[in-house]
Amino acid sequence: MGSITPLDVLIVGGGPVGLALALDLGRRGVRSTIIEQRSDIDTEMRAKASVLDERTMEYCRLLGVVDAVANSGYPDDLSGDTAFSTSLNDKYIGRLRMPAAKDRPVPPESSEMMRRCPQFLFDPILARAVVAQGMTDIRYGVECVGCEQDADGVTVSAKSIKDGSSQQIRARYVVACDGAASVLRKTLGIAFDGQNLGYSTSVIVKVDLERYNSFGDGKAERYVFIAPEGAWGNFTTIDGKDLWRFTVVGVTEKIDLATLDIDTPLRKALGREDAEYEVISMSQWRRSQFVAEKYSEGRVFLAGDSAHVMSPTGGHGLNTGLGDARDLSWILQALVEGWGGPRLIEAYNTERRPVAVRNSSTSSRNFQIWKDRQGRDKVLETSPEADEQRRILGEKLAAVVAQEFQALGIALGYNYGDSPIVVPDGSVAPPDDAEIYIQTARPGHRAPHYWLEAGKSTIDLFGKGFVLLSLGPDASDDKQSLEDAAHEAGVPLECVAIKNAEVADLYQSRLVLVRPDGMVAWRGDSLPENVHGLLDHVRGVSTIKSE
């Protein structure tokens, strides 16, 4: 394997975050190369992410894959219910009812609804889009073993998985999407702070669950099993049909899978000693909460699991990683094209790390609620007192799951208000609530969604360069000075006038400057006198000076 011509962007890792980043960069006109140690795209059915939240689906809309996700093969007529019991054939505890995708309304705050698309379906969707776009060279069977960097770029040391031959890859910028055990993060000496929450065993199993479900309340998306010691296991659908991920929760030490008796917990969950099923694969994984001390070092950035890992309770891990890609893509574009300044690198860490801390903490709290033993001592008993305990517990667990998977505030409510490239306006941020999301155009927040016409949202206006919105029937037409400054600096800028008074009320200013990632950079009723200072601030060149 010979050397590779110096690259603009090298992405180490071809999972969903690396693929999404490459697709986004390509959409922006930036070429990239991915090196991935696997021999091909990962289509193996394993215990991986499957929930794509509303912000991720908005990102899929931007990347042009939203229809492919919606039509991935996961049935849209399967309810999103979660059922709670001691087993499928014993004591009923409760059920959270959530409509199937075909019956679920799109939330008024977004153009998209949350969807379930298992990673073995999602990754190939992204990979096909990347290949079709033609802006990325994907090199499978290449493993990263380290890196060195200087003022001009990064040299990555890699080797062929097939024959062990080595190569040096030179790039201006490198993004580590190489997972929780990231070689690049370790090479750079970036600390990974957090805690181990225990080990879980997951089994991919083919089984007709409804054959063993004695409660007669219809097929659910997930079945959670409760004992006096807390939630001990669950079935979660993989394909919406007869493939399920069965997870046994709650050990503190690793287990030798070769000696593990998985049949006992499977039959316990199914409630039948004569239950028929086929075990397809089995794996053990560490449930943990870790966040990197910082998200970049020099010209190397961390994204996805290399930057953060979290408990899957809530499904926030993949969505957080895709948020990294969305933020980083325009920053890399600005750096590669030369119109972005060095403060963009600082901004990536300031913006994305707090989101990971917030989301991972929420996920860990969700997990601890599952393990709570309070109010569960009688769940296996047969008595009026036990019936009442199960009823109360069912209501509590339903509320927990609702908070996990109806978490619009987690999906859309994060903000970059402390970013060095956002201009604060002195307004107060809405409460940061996991379930409740209040749209706001406050600087540092996601620019609000509003349907401008059938099929066209305000968020469709954002995603290439900066956008200056002029809002309301009496919106200021003083845009020329900013246009001239942007042209002079080579900054992509589009000016859009929206006369709709409801949009103006939603955004609460006559002028709003939205970043290429759809986050608000600045707002006001008129442009400042020093538009060059404003532009330099939001593109990371310098800090705006008070006038």
Of the listed ranges 6-10, 89-93, 254-258, the least confidently predicted one is 254-258
pLDDT at 290 over 90: yes
Please name the residue ranges forming H helices in 406-464. Answer: 408-412
Q: Using one digit for the tens of pLDDT, what is the confidence trace for 404-415?
A: 778 899 999 999
At 272, the pLDDT band (50, 70, 90 cuts) reads: very high
pLDDT (0 to 100) of residue 417:
94
The tokens for 479 are: 């845009």
Statement to judge: residues 39 and 126 lie in one domain = yes
Q: Which residues contact 283 (CB under 8 A, 6 or more apart)?
A: 46, 47, 201, 202, 257
At 45, the pLDDT band (50, 70, 90 cuts) reads: low
Contact 198, 249 (CB under 8 A): yes
pLDDT (0 to 100) of residue 49:
77
Statement to judge: residues 297 and 425 lie in one domain = no
Structural domain contains residue 380: no
Of the listed ranges 73-87, 184-198, 475-489, 502-516, the least confidently predicted one is 475-489
Q: At what angle do helices 317-337 and 16-27 cross, to 10 degrees?
A: 30
Better pLDDT: 248 or 24: 24
pTM above 0.85, yes or no: yes
Mean pLDDT taken over the chain: 93
pLDDT (0 to 100) of residue 324:
98
pLDDT (0 to 100) of residue 233:
92
Contact 340, 540 (CB under 8 A): yes
Structural domain contains residue 142: yes
- What does the pLDDT average to over 429-446? 95
Whole-number Å distance between alpha carbons of 533 and 543: 7
Statement to judge: residues 63 and 159 lie in one domain = yes
Structural domain contains residue 90: no
pLDDT (0 to 100) of residue 531:
96
Q: Point out the domain boundary residue: 318, 346, 374.
A: 346
Structural domain contains residue 296: yes
pLDDT at 276 over 80: yes
At 434, the pLDDT band (50, 70, 90 cuts) reads: confident
pLDDT at 477 over 90: no
At 547, the pLDDT band (50, 70, 90 cuts) reads: very low
Better pLDDT: 369 or 138: 138
Structural domain contains residue 373: no
pLDDT (0 to 100) of residue 225:
95
pLDDT (0 to 100) of residue 73:
85
Q: Point out the domain boundary residue: 326, 346, 366.
A: 346
At 530, the pLDDT band (50, 70, 90 cuts) reads: very high
Statement to judge: residues 337 and 421 lie in one domain = no
Domain tally, the chain:
2
- CATH classification at residue 47: 3.50.50.60
pLDDT at 325 over 80: yes
pLDDT at 487 over 60: yes
pLDDT at 3 over 90: no
Structural domain contains residue 233: no
Whole-number Å distance between alpha carbons of 40 and 53: 26
Statement to judge: residues 36 and 147 lie in one domain = yes
End-to-end CA distance of the chain: 57
Task: Characterize 276-288 residue by residue with b for buried, 16 or more Cβ atoms within 10 angstroms of its Cβ, and e for exposed.
Answer: ebeeeeeebeebb
Better pLDDT: 255 or 200: 200
pLDDT (0 to 100) of residue 356:
97
- Percent of the chain surpassing pLDDT 70: 97
pLDDT (0 to 100) of residue 1:
43
Of the listed ranges 126-135, 185-194, 366-375, 401-410, the least confidently predicted one is 366-375
Residue with token string 């919105």: 469
Statement to judge: residues 14 and 119 lie in one domain = yes
- Percent of the chain surpassing pLDDT 90: 78
- CATH classification at residue 428: 3.40.30.120
pLDDT (0 to 100) of residue 313:
81
At 41, the pLDDT band (50, 70, 90 cuts) reads: confident
Structural domain contains residue 160: yes
- What does the pLDDT average to over 327-331? 99
Q: Which residues contact 543 (CB under 8 A, 6 or more apart)?
A: 343, 420, 537
Q: Point out the domain boundary residue: 329, 346, 363.
A: 346
Q: Phi and psi dihedrals of 105, rounded to 5?
A: -75, 145
Statement to judge: residues 157 and 62 lie in one domain = yes
pLDDT (0 to 100) of residue 218:
85
Of the listed ranges 33-47, 60-74, 320-334, the least confidently predicted one is 33-47
Task: Write the DSSP string, 116-132.
Answer: E--HHHHHHHHHHHHHH
pLDDT at 2 over 60: no
pLDDT (0 to 100) of residue 405:
78
Contact 228, 376 (CB under 8 A): yes
At 5, the pLDDT band (50, 70, 90 cuts) reads: low
Task: Write the CA distances from 279 to 222, 263, 404, integer angstroms.
Answer: 18, 9, 28
Q: Using one digit for the tens of pLDDT, what is the confidence trace for 93-147?
A: 999 999 999 999 999 999 999 998 989 899 999 999 999 999 999 999 999 999 9
pLDDT at 374 over 80: no
Structural domain contains residue 176: yes
Q: Using one digit for the tens of pLDDT, what is the confidence trace for 506-528?
A: 999 999 999 999 999 999 999 99
pLDDT (0 to 100) of residue 43:
67
Whole-number Å distance between alpha carbons of 37 and 43: 14
pLDDT at 389 over 80: yes
Statement to judge: residues 122 and 21 lie in one domain = yes
Statement to judge: residues 342 and 425 lie in one domain = no
Statement to judge: residues 329 and 438 lie in one domain = no
Whole-number Å distance between alpha carbons of 266 and 84: 16
The tokens for 414 are: 């994060």
Whole-number Å distance between alpha carbons of 500 and 457: 13
- What does the pLDDT average to over 361-370? 83
Statement to judge: residues 327 and 424 lie in one domain = no
- What does the pLDDT average to over 19-39? 97
pLDDT at 4 over 60: no
Domain of residue 64 covers 4-72+114-192+290-346
pLDDT (0 to 100) of residue 46:
65
pLDDT at 157 over 50: yes
Statement to judge: residues 320 and 188 lie in one domain = yes
